[in-house]
Amino acid sequence: MPAAPKSPRSNKKVTGITKPKGAVRAKSGCYTCRIRRKKCDEKRVGAAGDRCETCIRLKLECLGFGAKRPDWLRESHRVSQIRDRIKAHLAAQGMIKGHAGSGSRNPVQDEILMLSEYREGDAGNYNRSGTSSTNSSPSPRDASVESDRPFSGRLTLQQMTSSVRGYYDYHPPVRDDTYFVPHHDFQSSRCDSPSDSMMYHDNDNDNYYQPIEELYALTPETPATRSSFSKFYHLELPVDDFQSAMPYDPLNPNLNFIVPSLLVPLELIDKSMHEYVTNIVKIQYLLGDSDKLPAMVWEAVSTHPASQEAVRLLSTLYTARQDNQRLRLTLDQRVKNRITSLQQVLNDAKPAFSADDAMAALHVVSLYLFDGGMGRWNEFLSFACTYTERVLSDPRYYNNPSAALEAANPKDEFVVKTTIWFDVLASITTQRPPLLLSYVRELFSPQKSWVGTPPTYSMLSPMGCENTIVWALAETSYLSYWKHRHERTGDLSVRELVSRVQEIEPYLAEGPHPKRPQHTAEEWSRHLASEIFRTATKLFLKSVESGDYPHVEDIKTCVRDTFRAILDFPTGLGDIRPAIVRSTVFGIFICGSLTDREDDLRVLSLHLEQNSGHENVGNCEAISQLLRQLWDTRKSQHRSKPVQWRNLLSKMEILLV
């Protein structure tokens, strides 16, 4: 696959951010320290002032200072050779952590390591020092390890760690609470690679190292490279993979970041996939059947390459976000490329699209949901919608969607239900009718009459919403689109609008509450979530009827009902709140948007923060920040102005699932 074109980058300096004291730009310091990717003290000594104290202390030849590197230092392979030679020299001196040196010192080790010999090409012996280099030889350990390495211009994982930490120590992350203003959103990132913090560098450094596109590969293990520390102690990665792993964020062109978790070998991720499917899939579909779902997903992962790749991406994201909920892994260019490749695979499979293909597409939708809810989720949802239409319009059932769903196998049933639910909630964000609206009417409309036994399928599992409420939410979303379309054309009939509202509203009346004992806490979770969806859908319906005005009495009443349902948890049911909270962000968002009490907003924000689970995935943080942004706008407007919650939601393209 050809390398992705490099995005245009702004040369403007970041405003409002003060570089920490001691920060070093790419064009400062002596050439030797810049090759080492270490900070130079820039204390020039000597008669000509062409040497730094750092190089003298380390017994390295200082190659001098200057704004631009000389031509002979612009060749990446030569720079790599010099860097490796410096590392070997420092390791022999015992100056690199983890390298004890070579025992007693000898005269060769006390001499200055000469680097200018590389002006004319390869300087020969890897460990040669000064004028006596022809008589020197590497330590037996170094020689045996180097002889087993196929590429001399590559660094071991341990060496790379030392280099990276030293180079980036001068750019600590800057934290800020603003989620949607990425100019200040610099956070630390958890990963399984040795450097466990998010690392930043200025764009001025981009021309310092040439990026290369190369797949990661594990070094063949030999007796010389075997380490008691870890199987991957001598894992070899391209020197410049850090550069090519830097995603470009169009909202923040002045800073790029590295996601170290992308450097975790695929072998490790593959080994963790079964654990992921067994455990983490339960937080992917919080109100689904926790006994059946893992086995269903694992079956697809074991036999279906697209599903395997999608789950691998999910597993990588989950790992990366454990210590940093705000990390946006889907902005990384490597992840984008993998998603694009997966999209092409699914597109090529369309003529014979399978349930596993649809499942893989839903995994990618979950990937964006885990990463905050923003991104290209709608493109992959359309794949699942295509398959759902095929299942529900199966000619074997005479185009009877209800009969087709009743006869579907468990995997098809899960795909259909999940896709319908995602599609209905996605229509609120896109402000367009649900793609599957006609099927929703056929499957869930309470106005349909049934001949024979009513259908047994229920949206309570896996979505935690009763069939009638799914239908009402889909119809309300369509009614919102219908009203907006007629407002634009100037022919809106208020009488017809009210009539359409009255067709939906009776089915949103409060019903009997479930009584104890329920069989499981999962069943309680589904009923409680369904009650939140009922009250939130009624609030949505009233906002379509009266407009988005928080001081309208009907809307105030619906806000109170929704607020009460969100916070109403029976005692003694165990830790079921995270599953309910993360499943009902739609209700929390619309309630926080249309309440006329700022105290309610604070309570809801705290509710999201405290009860969103410890997994650090999902869109709760994004929803909380979106509500704050909405309220900041409301404070500057007169109370007679409508709340633009739908416009903001559409602009940010957040999926409320």
Q: Choose the final residue of a domain: 93, 119, 147.
A: 147
Q: Which residue has the tokens 């589904």?
A: 526
**Would you state the pLDDT for residue 479?**
98
Domain-located, residue 238? no
Among residues 143, 169, 145, the alpha carbon closest in space to that of 156 is found at 145
415 and 425 Cβ atoms separated by less than 8 Å: no
Helix or strand (DSSP H, E) at 420: helix 410-430
76 found inside a domain: yes
For residue 119, being part of any structural domain is answered with yes
DSSP 3-state percent helix, strand, coil across the chain (nearest 5): 55, 5, 40
Look at residue 123 and give its three-state secondary structure: coil
Per-residue model confidence (pLDDT) at position 572 = 65
Point out the domain boundary residue: 94, 123, 147. Answer: 147
Q: Is 229 a member of any domain?
A: no
| Dihedral sign (CA 588, 591, 596, 600) | negative
Using alpha carbons, select from 434, 385, 426 the residue that is nearest to residue 653: 426
pLDDT at 388: 97
**Nearest CA to 461 among 298, 615, 579, 630?**
579
Q: Same domain, yes or no, for 284 and 141? A: no
Helix (H, G, I), strand (E, B) or coil at 236: strand
* Residue 143 shares a structural domain with residue 283: no
Give CA–CA dist 170/177, Å, rounded.
Answer: 22
Q: Does residue 217 belong to any structural domain of this protein?
A: no
User: Which two three-digit tokens encode residue 277?
Assistant: 């499917």
Amino acid identity, position 101 = G
Question: What does the alpha-carbon distance between residue 458 and residue 456 come to, in Å, rounded to a whole number?
Answer: 6
Q: Residue 174: what pLDDT?
A: 38
Asked whether 627 and 656 are in contact (CB, 8 A), the reply is: no
Structural Rg of the chain based on CA atoms: 30
247-272 CB burial, b ≥16 within 10 A, e <16: bbbeebbbbbbbbbbbbbbeeebeeb
> How confident is the chain (657 residues) per 10-residue block, as mean pLDDT?
49 43 55 85 78 86 82 81 85 67 49 77 43 40 40 36 33 37 35 36 36 38 52 47 41 42 49 66 74 80 88 85 78 92 93 92 93 92 96 91 93 94 97 96 87 79 91 98 96 96 95 64 86 97 97 96 90 76 95 94 92 83 93 90 94 92
- The pLDDT score that the predictor gives to residue 315 is 83
Report yes or no on 372 lying in a domain. Answer: yes
The pLDDT value recorded for residue 24 is: 42
Where among 102, 117, 147 does a domain terminate?
Answer: 147
Q: How many domains does the chain have?
A: 2
Number of residues that this document lists for the chain: 657
The domain in which residue 115 lies consists of 31-147
Together in a domain, 336 and 481:
yes
Q: Is residue 286 part of a domain?
A: yes
Q: Looking at residue 281, what is its pLDDT?
A: 73
What pTM was estimated for this model as a whole?
0.62
Is the separation of the CB atoms in 546 and 552 below 8 Å?
yes
pLDDT of res. 189: 36
159 lies in some domain: no
